[in-house]
Every structure is written in C-alpha cells, then in structure tokens.
Homo-oligomer: A and B are copies of this chain.
C-alpha cells in the first residue's frame, strides 16, 4: 500500500516539496493560505511523515537501547516504568535487550545498538561482565551511555547505583538494635560488585559488636537460598536474618513459612527493590531501593548527555548514588 509522501502532496497542490515540508512544520516563511491548503491535503490523504527518511536525514533515531542482564519480576519492571516515563516525555522510544546473564549476549546487544544507530544506551551488566572493553566502541562512536545498578569499576561512563554502604549499614543497625545475637545474612552472586560492597559494609558494621555471631551465605537465585537454608543444621538458632534483595528474600520467606518461623520473634531485615514487601509479612523490615526512581534517574542522566551534544564539552564520567 503506497503511503502518501510530501512529493505526492506537492504534485496535487502544484507547489514544491520544500514548500510542503515547511508548511507542515509551520515554518514562519510560509503564507498561512498555503499552510492551510497543505494541512488539509495532508489530512485528507492521510499523510504520515516517514520516520525512516527523517532519521536518515537527521542522523538521529530518537531511540535508545536498554540492555539488562535478565528480565525478572523483581527489579526490571519498575526500572522500565521509570525509564518509560522519562523517555516518552522526551519523545524517545527504547528497545529492550536482555542479555540472559551472558556476557557474550551483552556484547552482541551492544553491536545491535550500534548497528541500529540508537541515540544512547542504558545498561545494567551481567554477572559475567568484568570490564567495559565491549563498551569502548560506543565511546568511539560518541554514543552516550549510562550504566545503572549493576556495574564494574570504571570511570568512562556515567553510572548510577544505590548507596550500598548506607543501605547495608541501616539494615545491620536494625538487627543490632533489635538485640539479635546470631545473624544469618543472605547475599546474592558472590562475583557481583554489588554483593561484595554490601557484604563488606554489613560485616564491618556487625563486627563492631563482637558478641554477635554472623553467618553469611551466597546464592545466585531464590531457589538456591531455599536449598541452602533447608540444609542448614542450626536454622532455629538464628534470631536475625538479612536478605540483600527481593530475590534472596523470596527464598528466605519461603523457607521461613515452611518451618512456621514467620510470626515468630525472629527479626528479618531486607534491602528490597520494593515490589514484593507489602505482600509477604508485615513484620519484616525493608530498606527500599526503588527501581522506578533508578529508572527515571538513569534516563534523565542519559537525556542530559544527549543534549550536551559535543562530548568534548562533557566533563569526565560521574558517579551517582541513589
């Protein structure tokens, strides 16, 4: 089905394509009589500007690529909502690329972004990712990048992460203040930067109280939490639990209710992405790391970078704590 083009309109009205183009975008040079005729014609013939042609001409796609390590129910949906709200407001769209926890896939997605000429990239990295080699091409191409949540240490791109130290210490203090004597702390994937930083802060804080006994376990998934807890010999002796994420919490919660340990005097403190908490157990305490907020923040930083244009003007990469 042939779609109406500017040229079609021009021929119908016996004027030039330039005039039609300008009339359509309300250029001040054009007489209002012409504008009216053009707009009417556009309306009747169902003219839809061809974004391909415009992108091609303008070398800007108004599209940004969102690369996430995996699409889970825990964090990603709220992040997407946050990103949406910012990008839609700015007339941008985005496509989602899930790395499925594979560094290789992540790398390919970056190629995809380059090929499809996205205007910018928002990325949260996989557990396997150790450096930013694969991102350097984006830098060369002068495609703005903002890394969020899961990152590796680097100073080439803006990044926004939660304030792990603050959140973790808050959590540790809750358990300490509650008078817990034996604490089980459940962390995520041991290889992740985020896990390590939370681990260190948590340990430091707890170790200031030598009488408190601390056991830490690392679990890549909620299922693994369940498994490990089930084979924990002295489960009942713990009087305090810490989970570093919604996912680890899920495993813990599942395990606690199975043993009828909910509604007990055990203290549970969680750093949570914020979706689940209100449905699990009123007695758990949460430090919320809001995905929506992170989404809006990261997207806003990207928009700023986009507008800054010439990147020579751009100061070096910045680190933001949420």
Contact surface of A with B, Cβ cutoff 8 Å: 1, 3, 46, 48-53, 55-56, 59, 61, 63, 71-74, 76-78, 80-81, 84, 88, 93-98, 112, 114-117, 140-142, 222-223, 250-251, 253-254, 257-258, 260, 262-263, 275-276, 278-282
User: Contacts A1-B140, A95-B63, A115-B51 hold; do A279 and B263 have CB atoms under 8 A apart?
Assistant: no
Which among A59, A94, A96, A222 has the highest number of chain B CB atoms within 10 Å?
A96
Closest chain B residue to A112 by CB distance? Answer: B93
Q: What are 17 A-B pairs with beta-carbon distances under 8 A? A: A3-B141, A51-B116, A52-B59, A56-B56, A63-B95, A71-B84, A76-B77, A84-B96, A88-B97, A93-B112, A93-B116, A94-B95, A95-B96, A254-B279, A257-B257, A257-B262, A258-B281
How far apart are A143's CB and chain B's nearest CB, in angstroms? 10
Q: How far is the CA of A222 from the CA of B280 in the complex (A)?
A: 11
Q: How far is the CA of A237 from the CA of B170 in the complex (A)?
A: 42
Let me know if B71 and A81 touch, CB within 8 A: yes
Tell me which residues across on chain B come within 8 A of A98, comparing CB atoms.
Answer: 80-81, 84
Let me know if B71 and A61 touch, CB within 8 A: no
